[in-house]
Amino acid sequence: MSVLNIENIYVRYHQENKTDAVRNVSLSVNKGESIGIIGESGSGKSTLALSVMGLLSNNAKIKGKIKYGEKNLLDLSEQELQSVRWNKIALVFQNNMDVLNPAIRVGKQISEAIVRHTEFNQEEADAKAKKLLCMVGLKETWFDAYTHQLSGGMRQKVLIAMALACDPEILIADEPTMALDSVAKKEIVSLLKNLQKEHGFSLIVISHELPVIASLTEKAVVMYMGKVMETGNTHEILENPLHPYTRGLIHSSPVLHPLRDMWGISGEIHISGKNQCPFYSRCTQRICRCFKESPCLEKVAGERCVACHRGGVVTLLSAVGLSKKYILKKRDVIACSDCSISVKSGEVSALIGESGSGKTTLAQILCGIIRADKGEVYFEEEKVTGNSESRKKNGIQMVFQDPFSSTNEHMTICEIVQEPLDIIGSGTREERREEVKNVLSMVQLPYGDNFLNRRGHTLSGGQRQRVAVARALVMKPKLMIADEITSMLDPSNAANMLRLLKGMQNTQGFAMLYITHDIALAQKISDKVYIMKSGIIIEQGAAGEIFRNPREEYTKLLLEELV
């Protein structure tokens, strides 16, 4: 049964520049349910909470409905709202130093809230305040303490006690673990979980800390620039985000991805059109429609909803049942057997296996260099035939393992990088040269005439590999296949190359299939993992899950080599 219904809420702050902090948000909270609201700072999470509590500042204008039972809280007078606020819906504020009065003992601050909102006298209120302190894990002796005598975690417990003072039906916890140490965080999370179980109140948790949301909530709402971008079961959202923004939030969490380097969401927040998708300027898969029209939140699978014109993160590459056999004089060699693989927009997938496992053959089939005996490859839902996707911009490009054999050492650097543009006749000669300079800058190589006119054989291995990457980037690929590109480099150059490539992938937004026998490297960059052995993909899944809980003995053996 629903106890709180937020319907089409808009909040605008009338400041020097009018700011739409919440835009058309709807949310339903059932009795005893726990819901998490996540998003970057400034996404409108706290404004939404203050709207429910009727605590917005005078310079905020709110439209829509916030219904508690049959009452629209926005229609109530301040006096009428007092009968709901704290008694029925309570808020744990995010900054305890600002909320708690340093001149009043903490016990009296709790009992003051009880006296104000109930019919308790002071003596009864003090007695209940002491019980509340014990309930949140503090000794009764702290009743007479001042705020500065408590730790951050203890102050947060006091705020929870204050919020529960009038036995509310709904508790809103706004960043309840912010700025706390790891031990205090665990205590607060455990406390909220146990209190909800014991008292049965509905819980709304607002946090940018995803592990907190994972521990405390059943459902999750993802907000960005005042809009809801995705909703669904919390576990499903964290395991399989559908919106590019949600995926970026999850990938930014060091707790959820302890083995990987951290990469935030690339780009700056920018709105140039009133109706465009709020995530347009930072999205890696935007299309023209996203600039002209803001997407509505729509159901896409089960209870999952996403606000995206493309239905969420799209699958760029999809290959099914790929098989390839080489016929030799004495025997047949099966390089690939019934291999299926997919890569989503902006995703890094790692294809891992020993030398001779069939990784390179599979990669060459995917980009059209060789033809499979069986199976089909699709890129953006179009069948890949020959070099149909590698001969055009915004398609597939492959960077090969050996930078010495993959580029002509007698050509100039400019000719090597520019050659793909020359082949497809892209732009004028001057425009092509400018594109060459841009990609050389991206891979951190010089782009003056002296360097452009150097021959390939004059470069080091690391430089030649960067030139090979630049040659691929000049075609602005949506998918880059990188085949063991660091295997011939020394550790320092390999680390620099990998960090450079992952950084470009993050900022440019292209997807990447990273082929390697080095599982340690794959752990640092991959979102998804395919394990290949003797031409067969024997295991696949989310990188974190594969590395934590491998099913196959071969995968376990690979991971044991890291110890």
Residue 388 pLDDT > 80, yes or no?
A: yes
Mean pLDDT on 456-483: 92
Q: What is the pTM of this model?
A: 0.89
The predicted structure's pLDDT at residue 18: 75
Nearest to 381, CA basis, from 478, 299, 302: 478
Mean pLDDT on 337-356: 94
Please state whether 536 falls in left (phi above 0), alpha (psi between -120 and 50) or beta. beta
Strand ranges of the sheet holding 34-38, from the earlier edge strand across to the other edge: 89-92, 170-174, 202-206, 34-38, 219-224, 227-233, 304-306, 298-301
CATH 3.40.50.300 domain range(s) in the chain: 2-224, 346-373+387-560
Mean pLDDT on 169-192: 92
pLDDT band at 405 (very low <50, low <70, confident <90, very high): confident
8 Å CB contact between 223 and 45: yes
Rg (CA), the chain: 29
* Higher local confidence (pLDDT), 544 or 316: 316
From the candidate CATH numbers 3.10.129.10, 3.40.50.300, 3.40.50.2300, 3.20.20.10, the one assigned to the domain spanning 346-373+387-560: 3.40.50.300
Alpha carbon distance 219, 215 (integer Å) = 11
State how far Cα 181 lies from the chain centre: 23
Residue 273 pLDDT > 70, yes or no?
A: no
Mean pLDDT on 216-226: 96
* Higher local confidence (pLDDT), 272 or 189: 189
Per DSSP, what are the bridge partners of residue 542?
Answer: 528
CA distances (Å), 281 to each of 54, 276, 421, in order? 33, 10, 27
Name the least confident of 227-236, 264-273, 368-377, 546-555: 264-273
The predicted structure's pLDDT at residue 15: 73
8 Å CB contact between 209 and 26: no
**pLDDT tens per residue across span 281-292:** 899 899 999 999
Q: Do the bridges between strand 332-344 and strand 315-327 make them parallel or antiparallel, or are there none, so unpaired?
A: antiparallel
8 Å CB contact between 157 and 129: no
Residue 529 pLDDT > 70, yes or no?
A: yes
The predicted structure's pLDDT at residue 83: 86
Mean pLDDT on 103-124: 91
The predicted structure's pLDDT at residue 65: 96
Helix H or strand E encompassing 379: strand 374-379
Mean pLDDT on 186-195: 94
CB atoms within 10 A of CB 532: 24
The predicted structure's pLDDT at residue 271: 67
Residue 359 pLDDT > 60, yes or no?
A: yes
Nearest to 7, CA basis, from 75, 50, 56, 64: 64
Residue 476 pLDDT > 70, yes or no?
A: yes
Residue 272 pLDDT > 80, yes or no?
A: no
The predicted structure's pLDDT at residue 563: 54
The yes or no reply on domain 2-224 and CATH 3.40.50.20 is: no
Name the least confident of 191-195, 300-304, 538-542: 300-304
Q: Do the bridges between strand 170-174 and strand 89-92 make them parallel or antiparallel, or are there none, so unpaired?
A: parallel
